Structure 1
Amino acid sequence: MGLSSLFSKAVLLVFMVEFMSQVCSQSSVFDVKDSGAVGDGKTDNTNAFLDAWKKACQSGGTVMIVGGTYLLKTIQFSGPCNGQVSFMVNAVIQAPQGQSNEHYWINFNNINGLTIQGNGTFDGQGPSAWPFNDCHNAASCSPLSPSLVLTKLNQSLVQNVKLLNSKGFQMKIEESEKITVNNITITAPADSPNTDGIHTGNVNYINIVDSNIGTGDDCISMGAGTTNINITRVNCGPGHGISIGSIGKYLTDQNVEGVKVQNCTMSSTQNGVRIKTWNSTFSLSVADVTFQDIVMDKAQNPIIIDQQYCGGRHDCIGSSHVQVKDIKFIRVSGTSASEIAVNFNCSSSNPCYDIELNDINLSSENGGKATSWCSNARVSYIGTQNPASCQQALAPAMMLEYM
């Protein structure tokens, strides 16, 4: 394995100890109530939260949110800060009802050593906005606002908090490095549109561990420019599984490499572990990826590589120039809710290669025989193979219904 294997549980523990020692060493606590915040679920607390943040950022310390429900409009907490800052949430932070197409509801930006923690909840009030989502029917649309967006952070920690019913994505991590997400809970209904749990893009050294994610889209989606990411002990469901991509839609997209997903469970998900790329005409790669010790519990499409993604449409033209290589599926077991448990639909111009299936044991949920389907994929097999190894298809792999 590449650099991702170095960013292990030991590194996570070192980061957490360091973060907690930094937080405990801070003597300054800035309660948002002292800045005028009212936790009645009605009062706009945006200015009060910004005032408390400004004080904590100027000197280092803890922004404290305790008791009640605090209504917040679109807000950005910006650095750089003069010292470590902790955002302690032991209450409900609630978004306004209705449609919002802003780039974020809450944004933490340009901060080194931020800690977001507590037993509280970020409530995006998604049910009031989801009827306005038309991205499944429109060629172009404005996505609904993600709840929590982390941009340009370094050496930071998010732990224990809950994210509930975002309007759009629940959490986005972008242009950041050395971020740990630990023991969080993300919840949205299975039919909520585009409510990805955690989305990453242009990031390096990310740990997502010991968390429970159930959404209406990907539990975790790794976008372009994601490198050296470790996802461990994540329970996913409902949702669309854990996905790399989609990659190759935009000229600005960067390679994805150094991905390790291990000891995770997919329960009644639309997909299990997936790589999806567009039919791009520019060269990119997805490489050095390991899915290991994954349990499928009635996952619809347990193992998928799809290089004719096209946003879920079936009118894809041409072949993808995104090279998918050095991909390992090790000890993937459980039940498939569809007949095709392993589906490699790769590019005719850039076939997938160095694909390894090692000890795969996937049975059909309904008692039938699970099968494999491969197109333009160079696959090696080690150990148990259930379903049996697939023959190369002359035609593209069967198109499955997923987004």
Structure 2
Amino acid sequence: MALLVIAFFILNFGFGIGNCQSLNVINFGAVGDGRTDDLLAFSKAWTALCAATNNPTLEIPSAKTFLLSSKIDFSGPCKSKSIHIKVLGNIIAPKSNTWTKCDNGCWLCFSNVAGLTVDGTGQIDGNGAAWWNKTPNECAPAVISFENCNNLNFHGITSLNSPGNHVSVNRCEEVDISHIQLIAPKDSPNTDGIDISSSTALRISDCFFGTGDDCIAINGGSSHINITRLTCGPGHGISVGSLGKNGKNETVEWVQVENSIFNGTQNGARIKTWVGGAGFARDISFVGVQLINAENPIIIDQHYCPHQTCQPEAKTAVKISNVRFSGFKGTSATEVAIKLDCSSIVPCTGITLSNNMITSSTPGKKVKAECHNAHVSSNLTTPSVTCLTPNHISVITPKLKESTYEQ
């Protein structure tokens, strides 16, 4: 009888226990001395992790540095409903540019993995200097890419010196990102913090991003993005767009940025669209923003053309509507603190400014606002906003959800 009971427990519970695995990259041959290429060991560890069936965890241990010499794919789908990677040690890319093709896109590439959690206190160093000096450097890979990874959690990690973007999020739903640091030199090209594309239901909170480009870029096909308690600087601020390049129809909606800091940034809160594009950017709010010597604190640019090679005013434009800027306090490094440069063909509507106090970071200097082709409601805002408004702009009442920010 006793043997039957033991057999029952083995058959019914043993398999589950055996698959509730805690894996370690060291057990798959990783060395972690910062010189040996651990790419193959990480690949083997991922294969085992993805094949496990009961909430497995892969540990990248502390006090070690793992060199990954080139792109690595962490591809799913995996068997378990949740996958956990705990990064406690350091991961580094080679210091020299060993990738010669333009089809890499990313260095640590996660795709088609549902229920993924990547967290820990470790650092990931992309050694991007070899890429920054290339002209052009469009082929520079993102340090970490998440594609089609629903129910994603990304917490605690520090990313340094990314060749291109630090983090790319593409075609993902239900994403929670918090307490991460993304750091690259102020003059490093195209080192965006987080690039978001075709994704929905993202929460980004309690992070520090100091980069050479946008701290966060929200691109076409994205919606329901909530960003709170972000410290950004250096960098180019938080951008919606650019949208509509080469005549594309692109959309972004339901974006909320709250209780964040722009410190020494090239821009603050920015919406940028190309001439000749289509689609919309709507239901967007920036609330409770602290400015410290930030250039262009508030900017809408429907004539975005960074290389000055664009066509003259076209007959189409991305429609911008229902945008709120509220509770901006602090200093501007540029004379123009508020710039609303909208299209005469498809003007901006439903732009609301309230309870903003922006002064010059240079004592004794004044700041001003510039506004063209927008319907603006402005209240208790310095500098004051007076807009040159075409007669055919209709009033659209903002539909934005009330913010939790308190004055």
Structure-2 residue corresponding to 1:221 = 217
Structure 1 CA distance, aligned partners of 2:175 and 2:205? 11
Q: Hey, what does 2:118 align to over in structure 1? A: 116
Counterpart residue number, 2:400: none
Does the alignment pair 1:211 with 2:207?
Answer: yes
Find the counterpart in structure 2 of residue 311 from structure 1: 306
Distance in 2 (CA, whole Å) between partners of 1:133 and 1:241 is: 24
Cα shift at 1:220: 0.5
Matched letter for residue 334 of structure 1: G
Question: 2:247 matched to 1:247?
Answer: no
Counterpart in the other structure of 1:61 = 56
Give the whole-Å Cα distance in 1 for the aligned partners of 2:65 and 2:107: 16
Are 1:74 and 2:71 an aligned pair? yes
Contact 1:342/1:371 (8 A) holds in 2: yes
The reply to whether residue 38 of structure 1 matches residue 31 of structure 2 is: yes
Q: Is the 8 A contact 2:195 2:217 kept in 1?
A: yes
Q: Does 1:268 align with 2:261?
A: no
CA contact (8 A) 1:308 1:316 kept: no
In the TM superposition, what are the counterparts of 1:151-300 in structure 2 within 5 Å?
151-250=147-246, 253-281=249-277, 283-300=278-295
Q: Counterparts of 1:233 and 1:62 in 2: how far apart (Å)? A: 29
Task: Write the deviation string for residues 73-124 of structure 1: whole angstroms up to 9, x where unpaired.
Answer: 2101011111111111111111122334421101111011100001001110
- Is contact 1:195–1:217 with CA below 8 Å preserved after alignment? yes
Alignment: residue pair count: 362
| Shift in alpha-carbon separation, 1:261–1:129, aligned structure 2, 3 A | same
**Alignment-derived partner of residue 326 in structure 1:** 322
Listed as ranges, the gaps of 5+ residues in structure 2 are 1-18, 391-407
1:301 aligns with 2:266: no
Aligned residues of 1:309 and 1:316 also touching (Cα < 8 A) = no
Tell me how far apart the structure 1 counterparts of residues 34 and 249 of structure 2 sit (CA, whole Å).
40
| Higher Rg of the two aligned structures | 2
Distance of 1:207 and 1:181 partners within structure 2: 6
> Contact 1:353–1:379 (CA<8 Å) still a contact in 2?
yes
CA offset at residue 56 of structure 1? Answer: 1.2
Partner of 2:402: none
- 1:15-74: CA deviation from partner (whole Å, max 9, x where unpaired): xxxxxxxxxxx8311111100011011211111111111111111411111131111121
CA deviations on 1:345-402 (whole Å, 9 max, x unpaired) are 11110000100001111001113111000011110112x12001224189xxxxxxxx
Q: Per the alignment, do residues 271 and 314 of structure 1 end up closer, same or farther by CA in structure 2, a change over 3 Å counting?
A: farther
The residue that corresponds to 1:92 in the other structure is 90
**1:370 counterpart (352, 367, 371):** 367
Compared CA separation, residues 316 and 263, structure 1 to 2 (3 A): farther
Deviation at 1:311, TM superposition (A): 2.9
Q: 1:165/1:94 Cα in 2 relative to 1: closer, same or farther (>3 Å)?
A: same
User: Which is worse superposed, 96-105 or 32-41?
Assistant: 96-105
- Shift of residue 129, structure 1, vs aligned partner: 2.0
**Structure 1 residues 175, 252: CA separation in 2 closer, same or farther (over 3 Å shift)?**
farther
| 1:11 aligned partner | none
Inter-partner Cα distance in structure 1 for 2:177 and 2:311: 36
CA contact (8 A) 2:210 2:235 kept: yes
2: CA distance between counterparts of 1:86 and 1:386?
Answer: 48
SS in 1 for 2:322: strand
**Are the counterparts in 2 of residues 240 and 269 from structure 1 also a CA contact under 8 Å?**
yes
Deviations 1:242-278 (A, max 9, x none): 1111000155553100000000000000000000001
> Does the aligned pair in 2 maintain the 1:225–1:253 contact within 8 Å?
no
Contact kept, 8 Å, 2:337 with 2:358, in 1: the verdict is yes
Tell me if the contact between 2:76 and 2:112 (Cα under 8 Å) persists in the aligned partners: yes
- 1:188·1:215 contact (CA, 8 Å) conserved in 2? yes
Structure 1 residue runs of 4+, over 4 Å off? Answer: 250-253
Unaligned stretches of 5+ in structure 1?
1-25, 136-141, 395-403
Which range is displaced more, 200-209 or 57-66? 57-66
Identity across the alignment (%): 37
Q: Give 1:48's match in structure 2, choosing from 26, 41, 49.
A: 41
Query: In structure 1, what is the Cα distance between the partners aligned to 2:110 and 2:310?
Result: 39
- Distance in 1 separating the partners of 2:84 and 2:247: 37
Deviations 1:164-186 (A, max 9, x none): 00000110000000001110011
Change (3 A) 1:340 1:312: farther
- CA deviation vs aligned residue, 1:2-26 (integer Å, no higher than 9, x gap): xxxxxxxxxxxxxxxxxxxxxxxx8
Q: Is the 8 A contact 1:223 1:246 kept in 2?
A: yes
Query: For residue 26 of structure 2, what is the amino acid of its counterpart?
Result: K
Are positions 1:134 and 2:127 aligned together?
no
CA-CA distance at 1:216 after TM superposition: 0.3
Residue range with higher mean Cα deviation, 152-161 or 52-61: 52-61
Name the residue aligned to 1:139.
none
- State how far apart, in whole Å, the 2-side matches of 1:314 and 1:299 are: 27
